[in-house]
Amino acid sequence: MEFNSMLLHVEDDLGHEDVEVLKFLCIDLVSKNKLKSVRSGQELFQQLMNKDLINSEDFFLLAELLYITKHYSTLQLLHTTKENVQDALPKHGKISAFRQFLYELSENISADDERSIVFLLPLQKRSKENKTFLEVLNHLEKEQLIREDNVELLENAFKKVSPEVLKQITAYKNHYDDKAENIDHQLSELHLHPKITKSQTEVYDMNNKCRGYCLIINNSHFMTAKKREGTDKDANELQSVFLWLLFDVKIVKDQNSEEIYNLLEKFHSKDHSDRDCFVCCILTHGESGTVLGVDDKVVPIREIMSYFTATKCKSLALKPKLFFIQACQGNQPQPASNIESDAKVPEETKPYVENIPQDADFLLGMSTVDGYASYRDRNKGSWYIQALCKNLVEMVPRHEDILSILTKVNKDVSKMEHSEGRKKQMPQPSYTLRKKLIFPEPSIPFISPAEKSLTLKSTN
């Protein structure tokens, strides 16, 4: 009750524009769809409470937001001060330097310069009219015209209009470069070198009792796209394998695009400190560079992975993040017999989009190369996931690393062909791993879902 009363007093100090700024600062923490519906401070605080980002025991994020937006006097309502928040930010801060940089940019630009900058930006008229500068920046980010590691578009525009504000952009770039150099130094201290050997120092740690979370999104029933028969076999096989590898496995079925984003937020907000790794498997229909929710709306693969970069999920920094995607990345003629593709519908091939973030310690295992279909047997499951599970079970006990395992998966899948004998498939791994990833051999033998089923039948 006292906590809610405090939040109401904080809201009294906020105007409509303040709420919009706080929403912008929270973009990396709360679903954009959820933020769209927020009209007041109270509604924003409720969203933060729903995500357990603030509660009666820990509301530092609120103090951080008030500090960034210079509501220093309002900090008294939280029984803290500007100096206390400033001291705690390096350890407890959740708002990224990039998000703060964009906000500061919007604060320091004059009305005349803003009009000139917006005029120079390569946006359609409807994306410029009646928009605040923060909304324009948000749109540029959504279109991937600006990113944490690339503000060249803004730099070129401000160079022509406002040399004074340009200094702020230069300062941000220097800060980002210094941070990257610092990470490189840390990696050097940890003996992380491009050359891979069998040295113990060049293998990711896998010592925790629970290796990590394994999220499996299994989409089967779509609004208009064809039902993905056989996908449950894939999901069950993945669950069995990663449980065997000592992961905390969570399967969710039939998620629409918003629900996928909510899941990503939920898992990126978790504390991974006592985990070694993170795994995400997505079984669905897809198009070039994207996967589909059951509402037939696309979710960019790059955006999925961006939730787990070192800046957005600090407890996973320097730890491997593995993503396995069973979905078409292009459109082929409809296959015959028991073989289906995971494309939504035939259409023109879209331009290729680079999926993997420019961030260390990621691995993306795609079931097929861009522009091509990915096949699934209605009875046996998909070619890729079944080959992945089979080779994990066979090669982990031999202490093979994940890239060797995926190379064998490529070989196995490339040999497969459907009943007509003409359609092939080639998986594609991409990675920015800095060490070998070797799952420790489990202490118990693997039992497949089929074997478990037979055991249960024999005991009944």
Match 């970069």 to its residue by tokens: 309
Distance CA 123, CA 102 (A): 18
Sheet containing 277-283, strands listed edge to edge, beginning at the edge strand earlier in sequence: 247-253, 212-218, 277-283, 321-326, 362-366, 428-431
Distance CA 335, CA 339 (A): 6
**Phi, psi (rounded to 5 degrees) for 336:** -105, 180
Taking only Cα atoms into account, the Rg of the chain, rounded to an integer number of angstroms, comes to 24
Distance CA 159, CA 146 (A): 16
Sequence-ordered alpha helix ranges (H) in 125-275: 133-142, 152-161, 163-189, 231-244, 257-268
3-class DSSP assignment, residue 419: coil
Q: Give the H/E segment covering residue 282.
A: strand 277-283
Nearest to 68 by CA among 14, 104, 23: 104
Q: Residue 364's beta-bridge partner residues?
A: 323, 430
Kind of pairing between the strands at 428-431 and 362-366 = antiparallel
The crossing angle, in degrees rounded to 10, of helices 231-244 and 449-459 is 90
The crossing angle, in degrees rounded to 10, of helices 16-25 and 60-68 is 110
Question: With contact defined as beta carbons under 8 Å apart, do 373 and 339 qualify?
Answer: no
Question: Which residues, in sequence order, are CB contacts of 68 under 8 Å at separation 6+?
Answer: 25, 95, 100, 103
Q: Which amino acid, 434? A: R
Which region holds residue 191: left if phi is over 0, alpha if psi is between -120 and 50, else beta? left
Q: How far is CA 167 from the centre of its chain?
A: 31
Largest CA distance in the chain: 79
DSSP summary character for residue 60: H
Residues taking part in catalysis? 285, 328
Sequence-ordered alpha helix ranges (H) in 151-201: 152-161, 163-189
In angstroms, what CA-CA distances link 267 with 44, 76, 122, 262?
Answer: 20, 32, 35, 9
